[in-house]
Structure 1
């Protein structure tokens, strides 16, 4: 298991779930690796080739995503080759789908490109595009203007 930096250790102990999440998904490469996993990448070579990422950076990010339960390793072996690790999303990793859809929505709305999206979130059954939404406990969609972040007593007691 790789040794955690003091900064990461502090982030993971923070009472703020956003800070803890950023401790795990700390940079753009982590999000792009997750995106590629959603697109079917599973081997080191597939991630490296799709992202054009340096091998040492990819190795570090994959190890961190495994350590924090976003990906899991499973051995595989191609004929005539040594055994290697494949990477699969865990249930926690699969739950990042809503985060990725929300990030894509925001990017399309606020940082648009002329050529349109290269990746689309579609339903498996109908092929229709999906959106991320804020949903209340009974399941109703709530407009973002009707949602506020409120500090709790616990938040006031803990530093960022």
Structure 2
């Protein structure tokens, strides 16, 4: 059986992968910045950055601090940007279901108006679907 969810989780299903995507999305692009912020061991961070780059979620671009060797910084690709609704949904879930202070609050905002962005389920008919109502997960094989 071809299990796409298992494939997706193989790429972003560990603690560090989504934290890296989140931090790059908020503007941290360099290895040392990412390592300091998320606290991943250097070897783990290097491995995850390589895996996320190989999977097409991150891209690299060179930068150089005067007097130092050239290095790479990381930017989100379109595939990485497509994960932002997932991060927003996880942030919303944490805000509602974890004890206060259990997770740092990151608020996703619309760049044009500054309003808060949240992840919602929308039907192709245009209506918002309440997950507490009957939302059916269809298995396609």
TM-score by length of 1: 0.81
Measured in 2, the distance between the counterparts of 1:135 and 1:107 equals: 21
Change (3 A) 1:116 1:34: closer
Report the alpha carbon displacement of residue 51 of structure 1 after superposing the two structures with TM.
1.3
Matched, 1:18 2:5: yes
1:97 to 63, 79, 84: 84
Match of 1:111 among 98, 103, 120: 98
Residues 1:81 and 2:68 aligned together: yes
1:141 aligns with 2:128: yes
Question: Equivalent of 1:58, from 39, 45, 55?
Answer: 45
3-state SS, counterpart of residue 79 of structure 1: coil
How far is 1:112 from its partner?
Answer: 3.2
Which of residues 109, 114, 128 is equivalent to 1:127? Answer: 114
Q: Once superposed, which parts of structure 1, at least 4 consecutive aligned residues long, lie more than 6 Å away?
A: none
Larger Rg: 1
Q: Displacement of 1:117 after TM fit?
A: 4.8
Shift of 1:146: 3.1
Who is 1:150 aligned against? 138
For normalisation by structure 2, the TM-score amounts to 0.91
Gaps of 5+ in 1: 1-13, 155-160
Q: 1:114 offset after TM fit, Å?
A: 4.9
What's the RMSD between the two structures over aligned residues? 1.7
In the alignment, the residues of structure 2 paired with residue 56 and residue 117 of structure 1 have an alpha-carbon distance, to the nearest angstrom, of 25
User: Is the 2:11–2:52 contact (alpha carbons within 8 Å) kept by the matching residues of 1?
Assistant: yes
Within 2, Cα distance between the matches of 1:114 and 1:32? 17
Aligned residue pairs, count: 140
Residue segments in structure 2 that go unaligned for 5+ positions in a row: none
Q: Is 1:35 aligned to 2:25, yes or no?
A: no
Q: CA offset at residue 62 of structure 1?
A: 0.3
